[in-house]
Amino acid sequence: MADIGGSREGPTISVVIPVRNEAETIERCLEAVLNQTSQLEEVIVVDDGSTDETGSIVKRIADLDGRRVTLVNNRSRGPSSATNSGILRARGDIVWLVDGDAIVDRNWIKLALPFFEDPEVGGVAGTILPANPDTFWAAFAGCDIGHRFAGRLKSQDVGHISTCATAYRRNALLCVGLFDEQIRYGYDKDMSYRLKKAGYRLVVCKDLKVEHFWKEGLFPYIRQQCMAASGYLSVILKHKERRFGDEESGPREFVNIILFYIGCLSILVARGLPFFSIVSTVCILTQAGEGVILAWKAEYRVSRRFKILFPIGVLVRNMSWSIGLFSGLLRHVYRRIGT
């Protein structure tokens, strides 16, 4: 593996922000990035076919700070393609990927850089906080993923890091062949698994904080979770050794999905059969119990009235993942039959 590179003062840093219809958040995202306490080489915003004012907002900011900010059009080729376009244009030794709906802490990159002094470190991520915890589904999504990415971890070394705000060694990304553009959702997991196979370490530091705007409303949340499940299926079909997940999404999630399927089946046949009524009740209560635990362990600023509803959130999440996995499996089988 290559050394970190850079000058005597340290490695150079390029920021890549892939965006699509992020007009409501992109200005705050760029403000947080540009106000970092560590110097940045460049900020490359890759617009993947936005139909709102995202492009014009970025162009206005680029006109004011043209030395660092560059806008690139990607023509709706997908998020992984947009990310790759930015990486290929980046000049820095470290490529810092930031979502257009994420607000990074002012010291994020300063705290991340020391990890790259170890040449085996390929990527560094941190704690994901909910940026809009005043709506239930956004608050639940933020606490859920925050707990899985940081709350459960026993070590800084992990098997998967998210691209919400993640710094990668550029040579490591080039070494494994950049992001897989055939995977539209879950491409960060695929990249993590390939980096691990190549011998790189992946690190999560809880002090690296980023606020993320989550989908608001029931149906946007369900759609996002269905897409996440379908994308995860594509990843584990590619990495069969990861069929039981990683530190962030492990066997517990698969047990929840199985319980949901069993519970639904038991409800369908429960009429007049007390045994199946008991089975369905146990399955539902087991999953709801996870919501109680999540509400108890949640470290983020969420109102108590929302925490009371976390058991419902877990049930909806598991339902969405069940639908997403089933539909993804059907598409996979259809493609196999078609070939």
Answer yes or no: do 127 and 53 share one domain. yes
* C-alpha span between 132 and 163 (Å, rounded): 19
Answer yes or no: do 193 and 147 share one domain. yes
DSSP 213: P
Answer yes or no: do 194 and 260 share one domain. no
Answer yes or no: do 211 and 320 share one domain. no
What is the tens place of the pLDDT at every residue in 260-301? Answer: 777 777 777 766 677 767 777 777 887 777 788 777 776 566
Is residue 224 situated within a structural domain?
A: no
Answer yes or no: do 289 and 149 share one domain. no
Is residue 231 situated within a structural domain?
A: no
Nearest residue to 82 via CA among 195, 181, 213, 224: 181
108 pLDDT exceeds 90? yes
251 pLDDT exceeds 90? no
Tokens 């606490």 label which residue?
Answer: 143
State which residues form the domain around 113. 13-216
55 pLDDT exceeds 80? yes
Is residue 1 situated within a structural domain?
A: no
Question: What pLDDT, on a 0 to 100 scale, did the predictor assign at position 99?
Answer: 96
Number of domains in the chain: 2
Is residue 203 situated within a structural domain?
A: yes
Among the three residues 216, 233, 267, which one is the final residue of a domain in this structure?
216
What Cα–Cα distance (Å) separates residue 22 from each residue in 19, 29, 45, 274, 283? 6, 10, 11, 51, 39
Answer yes or no: do 210 and 142 share one domain. yes
pLDDT category of residue 177 using cuts at 50, 70 and 90: very high
Question: What pLDDT, on a 0 to 100 scale, did the predictor assign at position 6?
Answer: 44
Answer yes or no: do 255 and 308 share one domain. yes
The C-alpha angle 91, 35, 77, rounded to 5 degrees, equals 50
Confidence (pTM): 0.86
Question: What pLDDT, on a 0 to 100 scale, did the predictor assign at position 46?
Answer: 96
Answer yes or no: do 271 and 182 share one domain. no
Answer yes or no: do 194 and 254 share one domain. no
Is residue 2 situated within a structural domain?
A: no
Question: What pLDDT, on a 0 to 100 scale, did the predictor assign at position 5?
Answer: 43
Is residue 296 situated within a structural domain?
A: yes
Most confident of 23-32, 126-135, 320-329: 23-32
Is residue 91 situated within a structural domain?
A: yes
* C-alpha span between 273 and 332 (Å, rounded): 36
Output the domain CATH number for residue 131: 3.90.550.10
Is residue 221 situated within a structural domain?
A: no
Answer yes or no: do 100 and 188 share one domain. yes
